[in-house]
Amino acid sequence: EEGFSLVKFLTLKEAIKLVKDNSLVGIGGISLSRRPMSLVREIIRQGKKNLTILSFIGGLPEDMLIASDCVKKVRSSYIGFEIFGFAPNFKRYVEEGKVEVIEESEYSIIAGLEACIRDLPFMHTKALLGSDILKVRKDLKIFKCPITNETLVAIPPIKPDIALIHAQKADKNGNILIEGTLGIDIELAKAADLTIVSVEEIVSKEYFIKNIEKTKILREFIDVVVEAPKGALPTSCYPIYKWNLEEIIEYIELCEENKIKDYLDKHVYNRAW
């Protein structure tokens, strides 16, 4: 029944107050698509510190958090701007030793989250054998399969304290409707202790029933929903809007000129969403 839900509907400020310093924060979306930018901007405004950020394929939100001195560690297979080049602050902070990188592949992230979801001590793979990741990740263990005697790699669980996700719609019970690429959003929501989802629109139960095939995350995995129209900008949110090319280029150019403060003043501190 509508209204029978433990999901809380909060403002941006109320939701991000739940994010504690030193947390492991999973950031949903992928690359420049459907990133939770409103939630990330509010983290910066509230001055959260010493976060470890986890992302499948990262870019703008991760780079902004790093530039705002919110981050101490990064776990990702890639942080960059695709055709626009490197993520300038991520590159600089890592080179200067200000941010620690925990090397990941796409599969190691998925496997770590799956191990958490399934309450297993590890997930196994052959994929990392022969890679340099094994040289820098002492928590990844090589072992012999007791059944086949094959050599495998054990990947330990990854349990985010917080998952931040942006989606197209939520119904009034907190079920989340997503269109387009999913990245690892479903896994993040299931694995995290606390899942916060910003959405373009909150819709009725009737809309939810008519579009049941688009429901990707059920309310049982959601803790907080924030209504935040255009909350992924300047990244895209298919099919509602494309990325804001001008703002992305502005960000990169200001960072390269060491003027990140100008960008943050204009697009974070003087922006309500």
The rounded percent of the chain whose pLDDT value lies above 70 is 98
- E strands within the chain? 8-9, 24-27, 51-55, 71-76, 100-103, 123-125, 141-144, 151-155, 162-171, 176-177, 194-203, 215-217, 224-227
21-67: per-residue pLDDT in tens?
999 999 999 999 999 999 999 999 999 999 999 999 999 999 999 99
Does this model's pTM top 0.85? My answer is yes
pLDDT at 272 over 90: no
pLDDT at 1 over 80: no
What's the confidence (pLDDT) of residue 208?
A: 86
pLDDT at 240 over 60: yes
Query: Cβ–Cβ contacts within 10 Å for residue 193, how many?
Result: 12
What's the confidence (pLDDT) of residue 27?
A: 98
pLDDT at 111 over 70: yes
What's the confidence (pLDDT) of residue 4?
A: 56
What's the confidence (pLDDT) of residue 205?
A: 85
User: Closest by alpha carbon to 91, among 82, 101, 77, 83?
Assistant: 101
